[in-house]
Amino acid sequence: MEYVLALLLLALLVAAVLSVPLRRRGDEEYREETRLAELRAAKEAKYREIRDAELDHQMGKLSTGDWRSVDRDLRAEAIDILRELDRLEGRTPEGGMDR
Amino acid sequence: MAGVGSACLVVALLTAVYAVGASLYGARSGRREWVTSGRRAIYCIAALSLIAFGLLEAAFLRSDFSYALVAEGSSTDTPTFYKVTALWATQDGSLLLWATLLSLFATAVLFLTRRSLRDIAPYATAVLGCVAGFFLLLMVGWENPFDTLAMPPADGAGLNPLLRHPAMMIHPPMLYTGYVGFSIPFAFAVGALVARRTGADWIRATRRFALIAWIFLGTGIMLGALWSYTELGWGGYWAWDPVENASLMPWLVGTAFLHSIMVQEKRGMLKVWNVSLICATFTLALLGTFLVRSGILDSIHAFGASTIGVQFLTFIGLVIVLSAGLIISRLPWLRSEARLDSLLSREAFFLLNNLVLVGLCLVILWGTFFPLISEALTGTEASVGPPWFNRLVTPLALVLVLLTGIGPVLAWRRFTPAALWRVLSVPVAAAAVALVLLLAFTDAADSPPSLAMFCLVAFVLTVVGQELWRGTAARRTMTSESWPRALARLTGRNRRRYGGYLVHAGIAVLFLGVAGSSAFLDQRDVRISPGESFEVNGYRVTYREATAKLGGDSAGTGAPISFGAVLDVRKDGKRFVMRPSRNYYSSGDPALGTISRFFEGEATSEVDVRWGLTRDLWLAVRPDIGSLDKPIREADAKFADSPGDVQALIVAALAERYRRDPPPAAFRAIASPLVMWIWIGGAIVVLGALVAAWPSPEARLRRVRSLYSARLGRELSRA
């Protein structure tokens, strides 16, 4: 009896928790938020790479020529990410809102 | 409350099925509300598993022997400390621990990624639901931890005495947390493959979880080694036992994974390799769980024969087949985004390090399963012993430590031989100095592999020190900070890099201990009476007197009888006392006599170790209680139906008889150099990994408002 009662009660409780999102439809804003979060993570990772390369150069592991080449590529990739971030955030490169 | 516990497991299983279905439907149809509901289902599984876990722990703590599991794994005289751990000493309990830890990990990662990885996360949720569902199905279908007994016994069988050790309190949860933790990157890797999103997003989202799993698994392995050293009574910390190997294999492949994902993050390379590595790591984690419980291979660590071997092997087989099929079907999406610019680059050496780590794993896998392979092929079971493992593993370990030193000094993409010599000249000189000193002042040359390892340790430690010094100097050039501040800011701003270097230093220190203790230990096995002495490695050990204790053994394991010895040890004018003992646990065998059952149960060694930075002195005693056989048999006949207090008096009298007139006892003494450095190295590894796993302050950087290039420059200058 204890088992059946617990089973029913727990099943009802779980069903209630699971059904809440089904009564609220997802929206477009959510999609943008998730993409923004991904881009922000990618931006931080790219910045870290640029700093790593700079540190390697300072420590003599990368020649100045190699570092400039690597740094140029990485900064170009970072700018692509920033551009995409701005597009989603509705900002201009100067930082103003364009919508 | 057993009914409530069973209900929790059934509802959790149904919820896992729902999580899989809802997540897949949501991903396929694009209906986010179903994805969210599927994610919530994982949260619910975590809550239900925690309730079940709490109910079972409560049953153990109150010694409720109506639960079959409590009757099997605990007893009224089991110390409270060990009653808590008894849950995961049983098969059913360890399954519940697995499911609980998995659902908690899954909850954490799904909560953190709820606003990102929208293409990958639903499939990852489905995979996590499948894994959780498998463990819940095992419990609901075959190994229900809430099974009850119609006729509960007055007392339980008690926890296996070998498991009554502080390290055992946390060793299994640590290992399981490690195993479980690797299911997170595995689930997201599968999600990325299914969703054809094979970039580095899934790696960035789960890297920290993989690192945490690696820390837990590594700590679990170290604690297991410490338990083996101080509890099993043979004097070693690693025996190439199948269960030890089973925990080491996923750690090795997980180590390879943690290195190779950096190559994918930085260069977009090794995508096939990375998903293959994480699938292999997860499979090996499942294999490790299976081996501990199955009893399929003879092991000092396998605590029970499994009734779920077929189910486990089927699941492992499914994971291998489905993962391999998925990787093959997604090969077009797994092409590298870049080519290897130079063989002299960090990514090339990471690949080499990966090959060595995977090679080590394959050697250990072959050696571990050789008994089964030989039996299948020849009909007779043959096994390979520690010498076989040592012969093959030692050269690979030497190469690995060498790479541990070279890897940190290399730059990504390309590196010139001249630059390599510039950064390696000092570490090479340090290794050469170490070689000369060792040859001149020690007998390290007696063991060439150990001598080579000592030199490599000097090389690695110098590399790490040099990297810190050069990095700090470079930062000071840029910022004019003081040395301590520059060092702190350097490591704080580059936690992943310098945490990794600390791990490398820890690994080198650990191998220093392994090389010293394995090649230069001095062991004596003697049988002496009180008043007699023996020598080991310059220590003069004198057996002063025998001891006998009833209850309250020195290690607090709850052993009813403990026989031991007091030994005076002298070396170089210093004197100290050591007290090894052996605990005797009562037998539940009703065929034994009333008194003999106190002496005929399991017995465990409680070794005494004099810890030292240069060497440990390890002592174990095996008292000869054969002299008590005759009086025990007489007492059995005379006091067959005596009450408990009379039995206690008789056992006390027998113990006192042993103490006053002890026969010669067998002693094992081991003087083992540098063992302490194994534990110190392990602690440094954990510390370094924690530094690397700690969130970087740059993750907290917020929006900037300026032109892209100026914005980049300003943001980067904040470092």
pLDDT in tens, B642-699: 887 888 889 899 999 999 999 999 999 999 999 999 999 999 999 999 999 987 665 5
Residue from B13, B37, B140, B702 whose CB has the most chain A CBs within 10 Å, to mutate: B37
- Is the CB of B498 inside 8 Å of chain A's CB atoms? no
Structure tokens at B6: 């069973």
Are residue B646 and residue B558 in the same domain, yes or no? yes
Distance of CA B47 to the CA centre of its chain: 26
Burial A28-56 (b: 16+ CB within 10 A, else e): eeeeebbbbbbbbbbbbbbbbbbbbbbbb
Residue B326 located in a structural domain: no
Are residue B141 and residue B16 in the same domain, yes or no? yes
Are residue B464 and residue B542 in the same domain, yes or no? no
> Locate tokens 């690979």: which residue?
B396
Q: Considering only CB atoms, which chain A residues are within 8 Å of B347?
A: none
DSSP state of B446: G
Question: Residues 29 to 88 of A: which have CB under 8 A from any B CB?
Answer: 30-31, 33-35, 37-38, 41-42, 44-45, 47-56, 58-63, 66, 70, 75, 78-79, 82-83
Residues B581, B665 contacting (CB under 8 angstroms): no
Which of B4, B467, B708 lies nearest to residue A2, judging by beta carbons?
B4
Q: Is B556 helix (H, G, I), strand (E, B) or coil?
A: coil
Q: What is the pLDDT of residues B147-195, one digit of tens each?
A: 999 888 888 887 877 777 777 778 888 998 999 999 999 999 999 999 9
Which of B201, B696, B703 lies nearest to residue A38, judging by beta carbons?
B201
- For A58, B491, B492, B692, the CA distances from B484, given in Å and listed in that order, are 19, 11, 12, 20
**Whether residue B364 has pLDDT greater than 90:** yes
Rounded Cα distance between A72 and B333, Å, is 27
Q: Is B670 helix (H, G, I), strand (E, B) or coil?
A: strand
Residue B140 located in a structural domain: yes
Domain that holds residue B47: 1-164
Residue B246 located in a structural domain: no
Residue B641 located in a structural domain: yes
Residue B317 located in a structural domain: no
Give the per-residue pLDDT at B707. Answer: 53
Question: Residues 650 to 709 of B: which have CB under 8 A from any A CB?
Answer: 696, 698-699, 701, 703-709
Q: What is the pLDDT of residues B241-278, one digit of tens each?
A: 888 899 999 999 999 999 999 999 888 888 999 999 99
B655/B297: higher pLDDT: B655
Are residue B539 and residue B455 in the same domain, yes or no? no
Residue B124 located in a structural domain: yes
Closest CA to B667 of B538, B544, B554, B516: B544
Are residue B72 and residue B142 in the same domain, yes or no? yes
**Whether residue B575 has pLDDT greater than 90:** yes
Closest CA to B180 of B128, B133, B140, B236: B128
H or E stretch covering B646: helix B644-660
Residue from B136, B347, B412 whose CB has the most chain A CBs within 10 Å, to mutate: B412
Q: Is B622 helix (H, G, I), strand (E, B) or coil?
A: strand
Give the per-residue pLDDT at B705. Answer: 39
Burial of B193 (0-12, 13-18, 19+ CB in 10 A): buried
Are residue B538 and residue B659 in the same domain, yes or no? yes
Residue ranges of alpha helices (H) inside B407-534 are: 417-441, 448-479, 483-493, 495-519
| CATH (domain of B102) | 1.20.120
Q: Considering only CB atoms, which chain B residues are within 8 Å of A30?
A: 32, 115
Q: Is B319 helix (H, G, I), strand (E, B) or coil?
A: helix
Are residue B437 and residue B544 in the same domain, yes or no? no
Residue B325 located in a structural domain: no
Three-state SS across B370-403? HHHHHHHHHCCCCCCCHHHHHHHHHHHHHHHHHH
Residue ranges of alpha helices (H) inside B1-64 are: 2-29, 32-61
Residue from B197, B715, B717, B718 whose CB has the most chain A CBs within 10 Å, to mutate: B715
What is the total count of domains within chain B? 3
Are residue B578 and residue B656 in the same domain, yes or no? yes
Residue B176 located in a structural domain: no
Which of B31, B411, B699 lies nearest to residue A62, judging by beta carbons?
B411
Q: What is the pLDDT of residues B418-461, one digit of tens each?
A: 888 888 999 999 999 999 999 999 989 999 999 999 999 999 99
Rounded Cα distance between A51 and B401, Å, is 27
- Is the CB of B413 inside 8 Å of chain A's CB atoms? yes
Are residue B434 and residue B544 in the same domain, yes or no? no
**Whether residue B467 has pLDDT greater than 80:** yes
pTM of the predicted model as reported, rounded to 2 decimal places: 0.85
**Whether residue B701 has pLDDT greater than 90:** no
Are residue B145 and residue B28 in the same domain, yes or no? yes
Query: Is residue B304 left, alpha or beta, with left meaning phi > 0 and alpha meaning psi from -120 to 50?
Result: left
Rounded Cα distance between B287 and B251, Å, is 12
Are residue B553 and residue B637 in the same domain, yes or no? yes
Taking an 8 Å cut-off on Cβ atoms, the answer to whether B15 and A44 are in contact is: no
Give the per-residue pLDDT at B550. Answer: 86
ipTM of the complex: 0.75
